[in-house]
Structure 1
Amino acid sequence: MVATAFWRCQEAVEGCKNPLGCAHRLLVTFTKPLQEVEVGQGGVFFSSGLVKPLHQKPLQHLEFSAELLHRLFAMTPGRWMTIWPLCDVHRLPARSKCRCLSHEAAGTLGHHAMNSKNTNLASNPPPIAPKKTQDIIQFETEVVRVEPAEEKWRVTYRNSRGVSGEETFDAVVVCNGHFTEPRLAHIPGIDSWPGKQIHSHNYRIPVPFKDQVVVVIGSQSSGNDISKDIATMAKEVHVSSKAISSNSYVEYTGQKNLRIHPTIYRACEDGSVVFRNGRAVYADVIVHCTGYKYHFPFLETNGYVTVEDNRVGPLYKHVFPPALAPGISFIGLPFMGLQFFMFEMQSKWVASVLSGRVKLPSEDKMMEDAVAFYGKLEALGIPKRYTHFLTDPRGNPMLGTFNPHDAAVISQSDYFNGIAEHCGCPSIESWRERQYNVAIKKLFFGGDSYRDQWDDDQLIEEVYREFAKLNANQDLSS
């Protein structure tokens, strides 16, 4: 049996961070128990009216107004996220639509999960009866510990009623994502700065920032979206970005009260925040849009897998620890880019290996590959915290400038192609990659209309033709 441990389901605002969903579909032939700490699937789009402050344990909840999530939209085009079937015409779905789709998924998981025409997991997968997600997920169940047990793995869990249990498995797939433990920026003088601080993890609506001066640290996905949202209510919004030079200063043309600065030099007791361009503002709030820490408090590997400066390793292709494979694997560690497609590709690979249809290289070969990869990062001066960063090697188009820290040693296209070759399945479709490039440019250079004005109709037509072929194949195999 295989256990899928999803210790804590707290997804990102973008709505594209759900490695567990892909693992559900592709590992359903192996397993019954998949642990999920929430009462239902869907992560941030599962609007239970409850929230957990950062200092609380996963199964402890506090109430908050459901109104806080009403403004939430996906930042990710629906066709990046769609796997099967193509059923939604919205490019950037609202929260209510994503919630509806998650309910539909609960009843259709088994129907589409393992069809060979869909997943290409194997040429002749064993027939299975359709299963609903409710039949294979233990909801409101926290994985407390995963540890070696001779040649297997012992999983200890506890549910919301305080009932604990323990089971032994042949393998464990870790799908807890990386959007649980916020990472804060290091700012000299911040301890004596009198203002308020929050992390994007806790951001909901701009109303609390009305008529205030706000500093937003970070200019990638969350920082870009949150700064624009806050600017609708705040007096001023000042974005601190690594993407511009230390002497730069940019007034955002879309919103007159939004300015972009280089990184922060220091925070002062008088309430001012000084940027490296020499400019200073008296700020009421600092919003950290600075990402998250990889966090596996339940996982005991006797030191074989560690987290150092946000590098989880050593790992072969971001998935398998050489000394423990295939008993332990990770899905969803790389960030940026086409997340849902990456989750699916990794899940196919893990499922193929665990089924015995695909064989991994030897432990020595996998370790050699991981060490070589880390060596390339070091030679390029890329910090360990960027180990799991996948993007185009020419630079990150969302930042507008080339920064060596934003250039991955391997692009996401090469990564997808490599996994596809490993597990014998098709790699990324050309339309999906082209739409990614169009959408990224639109998101960061299209002003406030990026959700509403699109010029990719030709790509959309290509998408429908592709899925029409898949539908035809599905009908023939029924």
Structure 2
Amino acid sequence: MPKEVMGYLDYPIPEQSKSYLPSQDILNFLESYADDFKVKEHTKFYHIVLLVEPKGKLWTVKVKDLKNNRVEEYEFDSVMVCNGHYSTPFIPKIQGQDSFQGKQIHSHDYRIPETFENQRVAVIGAGPSGMDIALEVSKLAKTVILSHHMTVEIKTQFPENVSQKPEVVSMTGKEVVFRDGSSEEVDYIFYCTGYKYSFPFLSEACGVTTEDNHVRPLYKHLIHTRFPTLCFVGLPFYVCAFSLCDLQSRFFLRILDGSLKLPSTEEMDADADEEIERRRKCGLGRRQAHMMGPLQGDYYDDLAKTAGIQGIPPVMTKLHNESSQRFLDDLVNYRNDVYRILDSENFVQVK
């Protein structure tokens, strides 16, 4: 994403000539944020959360101190779950994959393209990681097949050794069979199929389910409808991530300080069900329950209006969606684009 949509409203990424920054620059930005707001002073490092469990109106939290190898127990008034959702790989079940005679890897474990030199590679999934990896691996691989079910046309001009195919439906030996009936032999299956929402530290008493990556029961993708002092920050994807997490955190704080009175459990559940139905009518399945993309602006506005807090300027959504389309249209060159935000509604591409 361009840096213009990656900062915080009150702490933007410093101005510079490029829009697309290397990961080290983003890490430096986050380190500066943590230093300026003294985040590290209030953080316990080298502790892993073992259990989060409701106890009356409080929460019991057990953690392991990794340095001293001891378990500690605390009680809190509220809990914010902010463990992200890019650590537990999701690999779809495909007929014959257990006996596939080539190698299989998930994008989570990808490091260098040299591994695939002169190999025949099938990349499953055309999200951001799938597109990026297909292009990068193609520089050394013999052939690359990008297998996906996208209905939006991918206009990117890939190298000649990259072809596109529909979903893989089965595997036999080293042969993969696609939904259109065609088949190809490959040496590697590369799963760029995303991740699972995972909360192994939540007790069963929390009543949280993640069936098909739909985290429930949540009000506005955020608040547990039965335990409203438990929230999940950062579940939505295809969003302006830093600003989203900031907005969700401010929403939750309004609940904690009593400024925002929540509807009843039944009303919150009904609100969530109504949104899922709206998404279904837009063609989104359960696995897209927390996907935003073009819908993100409405979500930001809803949170801000409901809690009476500052929202995210519309220009952020517009630029995020524009840059996402550019990614699909010109994967090779989109990182050379340079943007400038003019005001809360408008931006220009200056290069």
The TM-score, its normalising length taken from structure 2, stands at: 0.90
**1:156 aligned onto 2:62:** yes
1:378 is displaced (CA, Å) by 5.5
- For residues 341-380 of structure 1, the aligned pairs below 5 Å read 341-377=243-279
1:363 is displaced (CA, Å) by 2.0
Aligned to 1:287: 190
1:100 is displaced (CA, Å) by 2.2
8 A Cα contact 2:120 2:141, kept in partner: yes
8 A Cα contact 1:244 1:261, kept in partner: no
Equivalent residue in structure 2 for 1:334, among 231, 236, 239: 236
- For residues 119-268 of structure 1, the aligned pairs below 5 Å read 132-161=38-67, 162-243=69-150, 253-268=157-172
For structure 1, the 5+ residue unaligned runs are 1-75, 110-131, 393-410, 467-478
8 A Cα contact 2:157 2:330, kept in partner: no
The TM-score, its normalising length taken from structure 1, stands at: 0.67
Q: Matches of 2:136 and 2:180 in 1, distance apart?
A: 25
1:382 is displaced (CA, Å) by 4.3
Aligned to 1:26: none
Equivalent residue in structure 2 for 1:384, among 242, 267, 286: 286
Q: Matches of 1:391 and 1:253 in 2, distance apart?
A: 23
Q: Matches of 2:241 and 2:32 in 1, distance apart?
A: 21
Aligned to 2:14: 87
Q: Matches of 2:108 and 2:82 in 1, distance apart?
A: 19
**1:460 aligned onto 2:341:** yes
Equivalent residue in structure 1 for 2:315, among 431, 435, 449: 431
Aligned to 1:78: 3
Q: Matches of 2:223 and 2:73 in 1, distance apart?
A: 24
- State, as a whole percentage, how many aligned pairs show the same letter: 32
Which range moves more in the overlay, 437-446 or 164-173? 437-446
Aligned to 2:214: 311
Q: Matches of 1:219 and 1:386 in 2, distance apart?
A: 15
Which range moves more in the overlay, 421-430 or 164-173? 421-430
- CA deviation vs aligned residue, 1:121-144 (integer Å, no higher than 9, x gap): xxxxxxxxxxx1221111111000
1:299 is displaced (CA, Å) by 0.7
Q: Matches of 2:108 and 2:201 in 1, distance apart?
A: 22
Q: Matches of 2:77 and 2:151 in 1, distance apart?
A: 49
- CA deviation vs aligned residue, 1:131-178 (integer Å, no higher than 9, x gap): x12211111110000011122000000022212211100011111111
SS at match of 1:441: helix
Q: For 2:292, give the aligned amino acid.
A: L
8 A Cα contact 2:132 2:331, kept in partner: no
Whose relative contact order is higher, 1 or 2, with alpha carbons under 8 Å and at least 6 apart?
2
SS at match of 2:218: coil
Which range moves more in the overlay, 222-231 or 272-281? 272-281
Q: Matches of 1:339 and 1:251 in 2, distance apart?
A: 26
Cα distance, 1:434–1:252 mapped onto 2, change above 3 Å: closer
8 A Cα contact 1:146 1:298, kept in partner: yes
Q: Matches of 2:33 and 2:283 in 1, distance apart?
A: 43
- CA deviation vs aligned residue, 1:438-475 (integer Å, no higher than 9, x gap): 21121111141111144x4xx43448x99xxxxxxxxx
Q: Matches of 1:371 and 1:415 in 2, distance apart?
A: 15
**1:418 aligned onto 2:302:** yes
Equivalent residue in structure 1 for 2:225, among 322, 341, 344: 322
1:347 is displaced (CA, Å) by 0.9
SS at match of 1:371: helix
Q: For 2:58, give the aligned amino acid.
A: K
